[in-house]
A and B are shown apart, each in its own frame.
Chain A
Amino acid sequence: MPDQPAPGSGRPDSAPPGSGHPDRPAFSGSGGFLTGLGVSQGRAAGPAMRMAAPPTLPPPRPVADPAAESSAVAAALEAVAADLSRRAAGASGEAADILEALAMIADDPMLLEDAQGRAREGMDAAHALDAAFAQHRDTLAALGGYLAERAADLDDLKHRAVAFALGLPMPGLPSPGHPYVLVAEDLSPADTAGLGPDVLALVTERGGPTSHTAILARGRGLPAVVACKGIMDVPDGTVVGVDGRTGELAVGLTEQEAAEVQEADRAERARLAAGRGPGRTSDGHPVKLLLNIGSAADLRPGAEGVGLFRTEFLFLDRTTAPSFEEQVAAYAEVFARAESVIVRTLDAGTDKPLPFLGLPGEPNPALGVRGLRVDRLLPDVLDTQLDAIAEAARKTGAEAWVMAPMVTTTAEATGFAKRARARGIARVGAMIEVPAAALRAGRLLRELDFLSIGTNDLAQYTFAADRQHSALADLLDPRQPALLELIAMCARAGREAGKPVGVCGEAAGDPLLAPLLVGLGVTSLSMAPVCVPAVREALAGLTLADCRERATAALA
């Protein structure tokens, strides 16, 4: 918490924040409110801090005093190193190691010498820093592999040093030294992955309910609001309350009010976390509660297995293909620790690039070569991955379940199943993300052992609405009856075939929607680990008949 009251903020004469009951609004009071889309449950309150954009390098300016520029270069590098060292001291484990290593690079004598040399030859400080960083970046990039991946770190350091030299705010994630609510126009997956423990909540001006920011926020249990107009006008340091369920923001809370919001959120999480046991309705109808994970680090107790292991998260920033051995190790780590795991083969495309695939650009990436379709260009990638999954299953004695993303036709399903079964993979399935596949769910289940419905992409393709587009949020609402019809159709096909049909889209983790999906007939719900307690509680409070009633009403 900051030491002083927030500057320039209108304070609503607000009553204490809501009680934590899921159906009551989080904040009451007049004035000082903003609304966006709540995309990750939970509430938090603290000072808002904006993420600054990387600085733009102005044209070079004539230098009268090279010695002064040289000093400015040293001061900039020192400031960046000091800031990172301070952050390292406040972090632990891997994050601390990374921050320390970055601080050491900012403090590097070769870098300093190089940049000061350029300043003494007449460059202004900002350009001298830019050029010196660029040279070291090229050296690392040319070495390839691990070192090429570190080249991006140098860009981040360069932006920081150049910003300091220009007198601009440090770009990247703020590090005010106290917990804060992160405010940004939008966040890249890399920004979101680098969030430290001092981030209380995320609020972005752009983004949609199914953007990767939203998914990663849910994965970390951080309350998040996206598509929040006006948030960029809230001055840094203003204390805001964030409700990640309703999308409501209270601007200008007192310290006392903020503390109450934090306390209510802690109490609510503690209450939900106390729930245990398998998912079932109040009359005992079982619904498997599974986890969506990106790596073994995301595993949490309390679920009945993994319903979606997103393997691409292991390889997000790679510039070279992960080797067979590396993949075996990553999959085996998850197999050894979870009771059942559904692995999804790499889900990438021009819209979700994996640098090592080197896919060509496309005019309509969401409608192009993505998911299983990448196999049309690079069949080796899937073959290696299936080999590695089979080997990891052998090593750990686990039963491997594998599914492919973006399956569209029966022929694709048949081809995938053949290749997976040839390697001894026990159960083969497909994601249902394309209406064509949902319409043919019964036929697909003649080739496959199970289906898993990805509601985000299925909505995107059913409504022809880009899932990242905040202006189309109503079309992407998982309550849209046309989407529910498709889900019901898949569930019916599963029942007839006697095979499981689950939902692993984000809708599965919404405690208000989960009962509806169960009413439609799905047999499992797979979600971010933090969502499990609330969904378990929601199901336990309703009979199967109640769930079916909700489904019928939603389809009317």
Chain B
Amino acid sequence: MAQRTVIVASASGLHARPAKLFVQAAARLGVPVTVRLGEKAVPAKSMLGVLSLGAVRGTEVTLEADGPGAEEALDSLVALLSRDLDAEEALDA
């Protein structure tokens, strides 16, 4: 099983717009990814699941996936979580 640990960089954590972007990206991958925070594990393409983790900025989460394409899928999600998606939003405005 492929596994990555990443610290959530977005100012608002995995809420609001960052959560939406993350879940959208996970849904596009075609590889089922699980997000784990402590005991709790949820599918990365579940908005309710990701929100319910309550991950704030600086929270460390673990991403897991299996099978072909798993490594690449996790790399792309790690890259996304490592960016401050809220700051990028501010630049858009």
Contacts and interface: CB of A to CB of B under 8 A. Distances in A.
Do A and B pair up? The answer is yes
Interface of A: 97, 100-101, 104-105, 107-111, 136, 139-140, 143, 146-147, 150
A196 B48 CA distance: 25
Nearest to A109: B46
A111 B43 CA distance: 12
B49 A110 contact: yes
Contact of A104 (B16, B47, B54): B47
Contacts of B52: 136, 139-140, 143, 147
Contacts of A150: 51
Interface stretch (B17-25, B60-68, B73-81): B17-25
A101 B47 CA distance: 8
Interface in B25-54: 42-43, 45-49, 51-52, 54
A110 B51 contact: no
B59 to A, nearest CB: 13
B51 A140 contact: yes
Contact of A101 (B20, B49, B54): B20
Contacts of A108: 46-49
B17 A136 contact: no
Contact of B15 (A107, A111, A147): A147
Given A105-B47, A140-B52, 4 more contacts: A104-B47, A143-B54, A146-B16, A150-B51
Given A104-B23, A143-B54, A147-B54, A111 B48 contact: yes
Nearest to B52: A139
Main secondary structure of the interface of B (DSSP, over half): helix
Contacts of A143: 52, 54
Interface residues of B, number: 18
Nearest to A106: B47
Nearest to B46: A110
25 contacts: A97-B20, A100-B20, A101-B17, A101-B20, A101-B47, A104-B20, A104-B23, A104-B24, A104-B47, A107-B47, A108-B46, A109-B43, A110-B42, A110-B46, A110-B48, A111-B46, A136-B52, A139-B48, A140-B52, A143-B52, A143-B54, A146-B15, A146-B16, A147-B15, A147-B51
Contacts of A101: 16-17, 19-20, 47
Interface of A is mostly: helix
Q: Which of B12, B15, B47 has the most CB of A within 10 A?
A: B47
Nearest to A104: B47
B88 to A, nearest CB: 13
A139 B23 CA distance: 19
A291 B81 CA distance: 42
A140 B48 CA distance: 8
Contacts of A147: 15, 51-52, 54
Contacts of B51: 140, 147, 150
B7 to A, nearest CB: 19
Nearest to A133: B48
A8 B47 CA distance: 44
A97 B46 contact: no
A107 B24 CA distance: 11
Nearest to A110: B46
Nearest to A100: B20
Nearest to B93: A93
Contacts of A97: 17, 20
A136 B49 CA distance: 9
Given A97-B20, A110-B42, A146-B15, A136 B54 contact: no
Given A97-B20, A104-B24, A147-B15, A110 B43 contact: yes
A146 B18 CA distance: 13
B45 to A, nearest CB: 6
A100 B43 CA distance: 19
A140 B15 CA distance: 12
A150 B47 CA distance: 12
A136 B52 CA distance: 9
Nearest to B89: A97
Contacts of B54: 143, 147
Contacts of B45: 109
A62 B62 CA distance: 43
A139 B50 CA distance: 12
